[in-house]
């Protein structure tokens, strides 16, 4: 019998990512010691970033599984410790890339993260449902996705992703986003609701406070390398649009509306506001577009009940296209589906739970359209020489 090789054990440990930081635990200074006994028993000591880390079970499971797979290993015992203040400060510096000053990584020139802000004129139109389903669809497509839930009135994103009670881990003054596991892939989530000192505390968010909270969620949170960052904005055209315009001028905006006339009108206003802050409106998602008639569906006939009227999405898209002078397409018409609400209530987005439904397909297709257009052109290094100088 061969005794396990230390190098192979270290290689196995390097395959384990810290679930919050999403980088190998070996790179983060979290593996304190590895001892291989004569009989093939391996003892590993792992340092958590903070005591009582909510994800210690995940780390324990992943480390044990990885080491157990190394040939010759007969057993694994894992001892969990906690980083010292110095180690934490070192980690924080490492994560900031040696930068002492906090900054918004997505606003950095050359940032490759596509920033998509989900806006609506009013609440209740499905903005959060759209956000979590786009995120889940993009994660399934292999993108690294983050969500900032900035909706002060609702902050319903965590519950819709099944992490309703989670509080983020803090490493020094850096906040770790909470991982939500999509069917394949992970979504990093920070909600404005997580920043409240106490869950039951009622906070009257006003302009400057909201601005500070938004900046905190963008710059104090360790996001790592994201392909896409989605922001669930509060409904309306208020302070947050101004903050967003200032801090994330490269954000692109998606307007969510229902087919209803009145809802379409307020959605147009939200789109116009975004454009005034120099953000490009990349499309409109019409939600609750129709209810597939249950009787006709049984007979295989496509009969759509237009519960909330019709044409709102197309109208908003046409109005905004005319106003801005560029094409604002309708990205999706999402039908009413009981399963979509149930998915939100149970924490499993419909694109994961029931991907074959018309609602899930509409949202997945919109996700493909949005990411398929590539990352934000503004942040892309094209490597072309200027015209006429080749």
Ligand X SMILES: Nc1ncnc2c1ncn2[C@@H]1O[C@H](COP(=O)(O)OP(=O)(O)O)[C@@H](O)[C@H]1O
Q: Which residues are at the interface with Zn ion (CB under 5 A)?
A: 293, 295-296, 303
111 vs 287 by CB, closer to ligand X: 287
The answer to the question of residue 366 lying near ligand X (CB under 6 A) is no
The answer to the question of residue 128 lying near ligand X (CB under 6 A) is yes
18 vs 286 by CB, closer to ligand X: 286
Only one residue has tokens 């969510």, namely 256
Q: Which does 340 bind (CB under 5 to 8 A by kind): ligand X, Mg ion, Zn ion, none?
A: ligand X
How many CB atoms neighbour CB 157 within 10 A? 30
Q: CA of 342: how far to CAs of 140, 154, 220, 347, in Å?
A: 20, 17, 33, 8
Helices (H), the chain: 6-13, 56-68, 85-95, 127-140, 157-160, 207-219, 239-247, 261-276, 294-298, 312-324, 338-346, 350-353, 358-372
**Among the listed residues 235, 147, 158, 237, the one whose alpha carbon sits nearest the alpha carbon of residue 187:** 147
CB of 128 to Mg ion, least distance (A): 3
The answer to the question of residue 228 lying near ligand X (CB under 6 A) is no
Exactly one of 30, 47, 119, 334 binds ligand X (CB under 6 A); that residue is 334
CA dist 172 and 294 (Å) reads: 54
Q: Which residue is nearest to Zn ion (CB)?
A: 293
User: Which contiguous run of DSSP H or E holds residue 148?
Assistant: strand 145-149
* Binders of Mg ion in range 90-109 (CB under 5 A): none
Where does residue 129 rank: exposed (0-12), middle (13-18), buried (19+ CB within 10 A)?
buried
Binding to Mg ion by CB under 5 A, coded x per residue (else -) over 187-226, reads: ----------------------------------------
The answer to the question of residue 124 lying near ligand X (CB under 6 A) is yes
55 vs 233 by CB, closer to ligand X: 233
The answer to the question of residue 129 lying near ligand X (CB under 6 A) is yes
CA dist 105 and 383 (Å) reads: 22
Only one residue has tokens 């500070």, namely 212
Which residues are at the interface with Mg ion (CB under 5 A)?
127-128, 151, 154, 156
Interface ranges with ligand X (CB under 6 A): 120, 123-129, 154, 156, 287-288, 334, 336-337, 340-341, 344, 359
């Amino acid at each position: 019998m061969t005794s396990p090789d230390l190098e192979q054990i270290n290689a196995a440990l390097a395959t384990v990512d810290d679930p919050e930081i999403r980088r190998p635990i070996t790179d983060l200074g979290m593996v304190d010691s590895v001892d291989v006994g004569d009989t093939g028993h391996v003892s590993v000591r792992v340092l958590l970033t903070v005591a009582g880390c909510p994800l210690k079970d995940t780390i324990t499971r992943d480390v044990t599984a990885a080491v157990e797979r190394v040939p010759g290993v007969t057993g694994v015992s894992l001892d969990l410790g906690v980083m010292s203040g110095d180690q934490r400060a070192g980690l924080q510096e490492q994560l900031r890339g040696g930068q002492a000053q906090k900054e918004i990584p997505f606003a950095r020139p050359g940032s490759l993260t596509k920033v998509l802000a989900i806006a609506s004129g009013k609440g209740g139109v499905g903005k959060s449902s759209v956000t979590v389903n786009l995120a889940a669809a993009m994660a399934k497509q292999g993108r690294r996705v983050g969500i900032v839930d900035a909706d002060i009135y609702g902050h319903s994103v965590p519950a819709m992703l099944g992490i309703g009670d989670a509080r983020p881990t803090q490493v020094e003054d850096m906040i770790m986003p909470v991982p939500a596991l999509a069917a394949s892939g992970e979504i990093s989530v920070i909600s404005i609701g997580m920043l409240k000192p106490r869950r039951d505390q009622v906070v009257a968010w006003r302009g400057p406070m909201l601005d500070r909270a938004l900046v905190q969620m963008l710059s104090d949170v360790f996001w790592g390398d994201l392909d896409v960052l989605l922001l669930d904005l509060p409904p309306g055209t208020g302070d947050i649009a101004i903050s967003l315009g200032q801090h994330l001028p490269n954000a692109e905006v998606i307007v969510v509306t229902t087919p209803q006339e009145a809802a379409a009108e307020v959605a147009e206003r939200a789109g116009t506001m975004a454009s005034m802050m120099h953000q490009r409106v990349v499309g409109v998602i019409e939600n609750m577009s129709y209810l597939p008639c249950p009787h006709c569906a049984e007979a295989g006939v496509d009969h759509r009940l237009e519960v909330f009227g019709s044409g709102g999405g197309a109208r908003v898209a046409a109005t905004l296209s005319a106003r801005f002078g560029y094409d604002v397409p309708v990205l999706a018409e999402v039908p009413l589906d009981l399963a979509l609400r149930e998915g939100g209530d149970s924490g499993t987005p419909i694109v994961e739970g029931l991907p074959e439904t018309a609602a899930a397909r509409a949202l997945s297709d919109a996700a493909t359209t949005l990411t398929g257009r590539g990352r934000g052109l503004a942040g892309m290094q094209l490597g072309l020489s200027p015209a006429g100088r080749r």
